[in-house]
Chains A and B, each alone.
Chain A
Amino acid sequence: MARYIAYRLALVVPLLLGAALLVFVAGHLAPGDPVQVLLGDHYNPQTAVKLRHDLGLDRPMATQFVLYVWKAGHFDFGTSYVNPARRVNDIIRQTLPVSVVLAALAVALAAAVGVAVGVVGATHPRSASDYGIQAAVILGLSVPSFVVAAVLVLLFALHWRLFPAAGWGGWQTRVLPVAVLAAAPLAYIARITRTSVIQAVSQDYVRTARSKGLTSSTVLIRHVLRNAALPIVTIVGMAFGYAITGAFVVEVVFNIPGMARVGVDAILQRDYSVIETVVLVYTALFIVINLAVDLSYVFLNPRVRY
């Protein structure tokens, strides 16, 4: 067990290094020169050389990479190329919490509703509500988030004027983005819950628990859900990953000052220091979520032994 945890933790560093290298190489192979973009109309060879030197872009690529990794290891991500007055650390500190709050709310909503819906479907198999849920699930998996956004904005913001159509402030501004971001993970969670609960219900120990006179809610919570929890936790972990990247659409549509928006803007402006850091932070989040999911197995299911 301790060995497994140690192995998983040891894997984090090479994964992060790999991600950093991937972005670094991609950034340098890509057409377009950040110095040229930065100077724009003021471009002339002398200032270009000077700026290139100031940014460290004239050094060999390997040196640049090692320097970058060294600084990143000390949580120093430098300054934005495009806006040298801004430190990347500050940008991340301001935007990451927004994205994380958005994702966490969406996942909480998706998990709560998804599990409930899945359990209802599983405990009433082949009923009208089960078929309705199945249809809703496949619809939820097929409709893109920006279409969900369009429909919700049209109805709740423009037609009934219940919530604002964009922005990020009071709780009213959170309702629509969270609902949009929750839609697809909700469908996934409902589907997986339904399948795994149906499987768990048919086990012998469930029959035993029922026959010894436990109420159906006790059986459901103690015996069925506990055993169906593994796949559900996996999918909730994946949902968190989805919600973090799903923000690319939601933050743009609802004009939310989160990290995904910053990332997209940085890519379009070739602001390499910001791009590299955003990617690194995303990858780190992903790795941490996956790790948490895998380790939670051990606590949820004593049969799992690494």
Chain B
Amino acid sequence: MYFSTRVSDISLAVPAPAPSRIARRLQREWPAAWGAAFLLVLVVAALAAPVITGYAYDAQDLDRTFQAPSRLHWLGTDQYGRDIFTRVVYGARISLTVAFSAVAAEAMLGVAWGTIAGYIGGGLDNALMRVVDLFIAFPSLLLAVLVTGLFGQSLVNIVVALTMTAWPGMARTIRSEVLVLRDRDFVEAARALGASTRWVTLQHLVPNIVHLLAARATLDVSVLILTEATLSFIGIGVQPPRPSWGLMISDSFQWLQSHPYLVIVPSVILSVTVLSFNLVGESLAGWFDPLRGPNR
């Protein structure tokens, strides 16, 4: 089709940086680079959980409780003699699966909602954004607590709860970006050439908000991992015997005085994971920021 002006045809898109530039950037943004490396290791460990550990995450061994780290138990054992390393790795599986699913869902919902509201505008925009206002006026943790508290704590419900807390913010961000893009020349040109709303949205608007989406979604992952951990900590998130970092911390909280190690291990893993997502997300946001872009 003759009007299929792609993003790459327009100099608007971020030019692909040369390899040396990437290296230089990695050097300058070493915290984000370390964060990304940690996340890579974590994801691989989570995927390969059954391979890298021979224990089951809920296998109790009451003769071997509170063991110190050893060759048998790399991170020791907890109050029920369960292998902590195994629980941390399976906990990563659950935390990451839940957070990634929720981010995927809230991103789709937020992008659809924000794009439609921003591009079509008028009364529909008004109606859609009032719904967003309503959700934002609602304290997000309270919303999540209500969903899992009332509807049960299955993993699906946790994902639904997290999605509900995150999508209104995403919809708002996307809408304000679409409002700017809508009046850009290339969108107007496409419209003048007779492109349908659907075409303009999918071919011109969405590709141009992908960068914003990437940064925002990465930061959202960190927030949602925190929310899931908080729900599990309060007791209305992931349910035992399934391991979740938040649940491991609350389970061991009563042993804080005698065996602080049990609380410290999942706390460190959880905090470093959230920190890494924050570092990578902020680095991405800076990368796409026209004032601090990759070429500066």
Which A residues form the contact surface with B (CB < 8 A)? 15, 18-19, 22-23, 26-27, 29-32, 138-139, 141-147, 150-151, 153-154, 158, 241, 244-246, 248-249, 252-253, 263-264, 267-268, 270, 275, 279, 282-283, 286-287, 290
Q: A264-B149, A283-B139 are in contact. List 20 more A-B contacts (CB 8 A).
A: A15-B133, A19-B138, A26-B151, A30-B150, A30-B151, A32-B150, A138-B278, A143-B271, A147-B270, A150-B264, A154-B260, A248-B142, A249-B234, A253-B253, A267-B236, A268-B236, A270-B150, A282-B142, A283-B138, A287-B137
Q: Contact: B137 with A150, CB < 8 Å?
A: no
Q: Contact: A248 with B141, CB < 8 Å?
A: yes
Give B285 Cβ to nearest chain A Cβ, in Å. Answer: 13
B260: chain A residues within 8 A (beta carbon): 150, 154
Q: Contact: A146 with B250, CB < 8 Å?
A: yes
A244: chain B residues within 8 A (beta carbon): 139
A264: which of B145, B226, B264 is its contact (CB, 8 Å)? B145
Q: Contact: A144 with B270, CB < 8 Å?
A: yes
Q: Contact: B271 with A154, CB < 8 Å?
A: no
Q: Contact: A26 with B134, CB < 8 Å?
A: no
Q: Does B274 contact A (CB under 8 A)?
A: yes
CA distance A283 to B142 in the complex (A): 9
Q: Does B79 contact A (CB under 8 A)?
A: no
Q: Contact: A144 with B275, CB < 8 Å?
A: no
Top 8 A-B residue pairs of the complex, sorted by shortest distance between their CB atoms = A267-B149, A30-B150, A142-B275, A245-B141, A147-B267, A142-B274, A245-B139, A143-B271
CA distance A263 to B282 in the complex (A): 35
Q: Contact: A268 with B149, CB < 8 Å?
A: yes
A-B contact pairs, 20 of them (CB 8 A): A18-B134, A19-B138, A26-B146, A30-B150, A31-B151, A142-B222, A142-B275, A143-B271, A144-B230, A144-B267, A146-B246, A150-B256, A245-B140, A246-B141, A249-B233, A249-B234, A264-B149, A264-B234, A283-B138, A286-B139
* Interface of B, helix, strand, loop or mixed by DSSP: helix
CA distance A153 to B226 in the complex (A): 20
Q: Does B263 contact A (CB under 8 A)?
A: yes
CA distance A249 to B267 in the complex (A): 15
Q: Does B152 contact A (CB under 8 A)?
A: yes
CA distance A143 to B277 in the complex (A): 12
Q: Does B46 contact A (CB under 8 A)?
A: no
Q: Contact: A146 with B230, CB < 8 Å?
A: yes
Per-residue contact bits, chain B 122-155, to A (CB 8 Å; 1 contact, 0 not): 0000000000011001111110011101111000
A268: chain B residues within 8 A (beta carbon): 149, 235-236
B246: chain A residues within 8 A (beta carbon): 144, 146
Closest to B226 in A: A144
Q: Does B200 contact A (CB under 8 A)?
A: no
CA distance A22 to B141 in the complex (A): 15
Q: Looking at B139, B147, B230, B253, which has the most chain A CB atoms within 10 Å of its CB?
A: B139
A144: chain B residues within 8 A (beta carbon): 226, 229-230, 233, 246, 267, 270-271, 274
Q: Contact: A139 with B267, CB < 8 Å?
A: no
A253: chain B residues within 8 A (beta carbon): 253
A22: chain B residues within 8 A (beta carbon): 134, 138
CA distance A81 to B274 in the complex (A): 40
A153: chain B residues within 8 A (beta carbon): 256
A279: chain B residues within 8 A (beta carbon): 142, 146
B138: which of A141, A146, A286 is its contact (CB, 8 Å)? A286
Q: Contact: B274 with A143, CB < 8 Å?
A: yes
CA distance A23 to B143 in the complex (A): 9
Q: Does B102 contact A (CB under 8 A)?
A: no
Closest to B258 in A: A158
Q: Contact: A142 with B278, CB < 8 Å?
A: yes
CA distance A15 to B138 in the complex (A): 9
Q: Does B11 contact A (CB under 8 A)?
A: no
Q: Does B249 contact A (CB under 8 A)?
A: yes
Q: Looking at A32, A153, A248, which has the most chain B CB atoms within 10 Å of its CB?
A: A248
Within 18-54 of B, Cβ neighbours of A (below 8 Å) are at none
Q: Does B279 contact A (CB under 8 A)?
A: yes
Give B235 Cβ to nearest chain A Cβ, in Å. Answer: 8
CA distance A18 to B127 in the complex (A): 14
Within 222-280 of B, Cβ neighbours of A (below 8 Å) are at 222, 226, 229-230, 233-236, 246, 249-250, 253, 256-257, 260, 263-264, 267, 270-271, 274-275, 278-279
Q: Contact: B134 with A147, CB < 8 Å?
A: no
A31: chain B residues within 8 A (beta carbon): 151-152
Give A162 Cβ to nearest chain B Cβ, in Å. Answer: 15
Q: Contact: A150 with B278, CB < 8 Å?
A: no
Q: Contact: A138 with B146, CB < 8 Å?
A: no
B152: chain A residues within 8 A (beta carbon): 31
CA distance A30 to B140 in the complex (A): 19
